[in-house]
Structure 1
Amino acid sequence: MTFELGENQYGKAEVRLVRVDRGPQAHGITDLNVTTTLAGDLTATHLTGDNTGVLPTDTQKNTVHAFARDGIGEIEEFALRLARHFVDSAPAITRARVRIEQYGWERIPATGHSFTRTAGTRTASAAYDGTTAWVVSGVEGVTVLNTTGSEFHGFPRDRYTTLAETSDRILATDVTARWRHADPTRTDWAASFAGAKDRLLNAFAATYSHSLQQTLHSMGQYVLSGDDGLAEARLALPNKHHFLVDLQPFDLDNPQQVYQVADRPYGLIEGTVHRTGAPDPGLAWW
């Protein structure tokens, strides 16, 4: 019986950093969580413990901090700088992926240095193999809810089906969405992100939904349709169920006013919308 080493990678997970940009009148902060992942000619370390080609994960952490000293800019740019650095400077490394989560802060009015945390998380990933780069932007943890404009009926029923059909329900979800850029050299990262996020939310609000799957597809289409530089969108939408409470035992009616919110289990709807003819870099790049 013989064995051989398969695909492998390693890196430094969740490097936390905050950069403060100190202006004369007000401060700005950039709050990041950075994960680096490297792959390449690493067979020796797995088979014999020879670490000649292994760039230490502590070095990767230090590199993130040192690069932040020079300025971060948009997180897509920062991720690209890091990914290219690791491949171009470490001989054994042939592919790098850098994923960044950015936590938003808003300055409290009438102050220059006091902030409050904003909802949702901006994300970006950059991958580089020495020749080709890919960039993905996105958001996580954006909670949205429609109090009407959603139905769910016409589904198959069997002996285990208890769910009642409905022609008017609350539809709520925590959006995780990512969109891949066709051109990693674009420079309008901030405007692209703002536009994509606006279209994502507007699609949720504007779509009369017969299923969360239909809403997902509409949101993906909206994201891509407003930016020719986007090739593909991937979304994960957990269905945050709101069930109408039965108040009849208390001799009360419930004209769609009081709901029970179910924490778990929940439906999880996932899907991809891509521009026809766009090249697919494969799941590894995401």
Structure 2
Amino acid sequence: MAIVLGDNQYGKAETRLVRVDRSGEEHRIIDLNVTTTLAGDLARTHLTGDNTDVLPTDSQKNTVFAFAHDGVGEIEAFAVRLARHFVTTVPAVHRARVHIERYTWQRMSVGDEPAPHSFVRGSGTRTATVTCDGEHTTVVSGITDLVVLNSTGSEFWGYHKDRYTTLPETKDRILATAVDARWRHTGAGTADWAESHAEVVRHLLDAFATTHSLSLQQTLYAMGERVLRHRPEVAEIRLSLPNRHHFLVDLTPFDLDNPGEVFHAADRPYGLIEGTVLREDAPPAGLAWW
């Protein structure tokens, strides 16, 4: 029986990097979580323990810090710099993937005046994942944990029922979710990353707010479709939408009515709706990204 080494990769997970820009009177905070992953001709270290081809994960961490010395900029561009560096400088490495999470910090205000060096954590985490093999570079932007809620304008009825179905149909419900969206760009350097990200998020939120929803699946498609109709630099978008259920509380045991005002917010179990919306003529990714 032949036994061989299969696909493998290694890297440095979750390097926490905070860069403070002190160049002006008002400071700027860049707060990142960076994961680097390398793959290539690495059989020797697995089969014999020969580490000749291995760039230590500690070196990967140090590279992240060193590259941040000259500025981070937009996280997509920073990830491209790092991924291309590893592929072009480490002979055994044929593919590098860099995943970055950027945490949101908003400047505080004291009265009507902005606080120059005080911040409060904002909602939603911006993400970027870049994969490079020396020939192709795939850039994926995203946002996670963007919590949204419609207090009405959502229905759920007409679904398949079997002997285990107890859920009542409804023509009016709360629809809430924590958006996890990732979108692949048509090129590695064709977008104004900051403007593109802000506009994609705006269209996601606009679609969520304006879609009268008969299902969370319908809302997912509407969100993806709106992004693709308005942002030509996006080839496809993938969304994961957990359904954060809100159940109307029965107050009749207490001789109280409840006209759609008091709900129990259940954290689990929850429905999980996922899907991809893409252009029919979208260029292929070149590299796996899901």
TM-score, normalised via structure 2 length: 0.96
Deviation at 1:279, TM superposition (A): 3.1
**Structure 1 equivalent of residue 195 of structure 2:** 191
**Structure 2 equivalent of residue 255 of structure 1:** 259
**Structure 1 equivalent of residue 35 of structure 2:** 35
**Structure 1 equivalent of residue 21 of structure 2:** 21
Separation (CA, whole Å) in 2 of partners of 1:87 and 1:111: 42
Deviation at 1:50, TM superposition (A): 1.1
1:41-120 map, 5 Å: 41-109=41-109, 110-120=114-124
User: SS state of the match for residue 148, structure 2?
Assistant: strand
Deviations along 1:38-97, one digit per CA (max 9) or x if unpaired, are: 100011111111111111100000000000001100000000000000000000000001
Separation (CA, whole Å) in 2 of partners of 1:251 and 1:177: 44
The answer to whether the 8 A contact 1:237-1:270 is kept is yes
Alignment equivalent of 2:128, drawn from 111, 124, 130? 124
Alignment equivalent of 2:214, drawn from 196, 210, 232? 210
Separation (CA, whole Å) in 2 of partners of 1:33 and 1:174: 20
> Residue 54 and residue 233 in structure 1: after superposition, are their counterparts in 2 closer, same or farther (change >3 A)?
same
Q: Pairwise CA RMSD of aligned residues?
A: 1.1
The answer to whether the 8 A contact 2:38-2:96 is kept is yes
**Structure 2 equivalent of residue 165 of structure 1:** 169
AA aligned to 2:168 is A
Separation (CA, whole Å) in 2 of partners of 1:170 and 1:111: 37
AA aligned to 1:24 is G
Alignment equivalent of 1:139, drawn from 138, 143, 168? 143
Separation (CA, whole Å) in 2 of partners of 1:136 and 1:35: 14
Separation (CA, whole Å) in 2 of partners of 1:204 and 1:64: 36
The answer to whether the 8 A contact 1:97-1:285 is kept is no
AA aligned to 1:88 is T
Deviation at 1:227, TM superposition (A): 1.0
The answer to whether the 8 A contact 1:145-1:170 is kept is yes
> Residue 283 and residue 266 in structure 1: after superposition, are their counterparts in 2 closer, same or farther (change >3 A)?
farther
Deviation at 1:194, TM superposition (A): 0.5
Deviations along 1:155-188, one digit per CA (max 9) or x if unpaired, are: 1111111101001000000000011000111241
- With 77-86 and 272-281 compared, the bigger mean Cα shift is at 272-281
Alignment equivalent of 2:250, drawn from 229, 243, 246? 246
Percent identity between matched residues is 65
AA aligned to 2:127 is T
Structure 1, unaligned stretches of length 5 or more?
none
Deviation at 1:33, TM superposition (A): 0.2
The answer to whether the 8 A contact 1:240-1:261 is kept is yes
AA aligned to 1:62 is N
User: SS state of the match for residue 108, structure 1?
Assistant: strand
Aligned pair 1:201/2:187, yes or no? Answer: no
The answer to whether the 8 A contact 1:42-1:53 is kept is yes
- With 59-68 and 216-225 compared, the bigger mean Cα shift is at 216-225
**Structure 2 equivalent of residue 285 of structure 1:** 289
Aligned pair 1:152/2:156, yes or no? Answer: yes
Moved over 4 A (4+): none
Deviation at 1:284, TM superposition (A): 3.1
- With 163-172 and 179-188 compared, the bigger mean Cα shift is at 179-188
**Structure 1 equivalent of residue 228 of structure 2:** 224
The answer to whether the 8 A contact 2:84-2:96 is kept is yes
User: SS state of the match for residue 116, structure 2?
Assistant: coil
Deviation at 1:282, TM superposition (A): 7.1
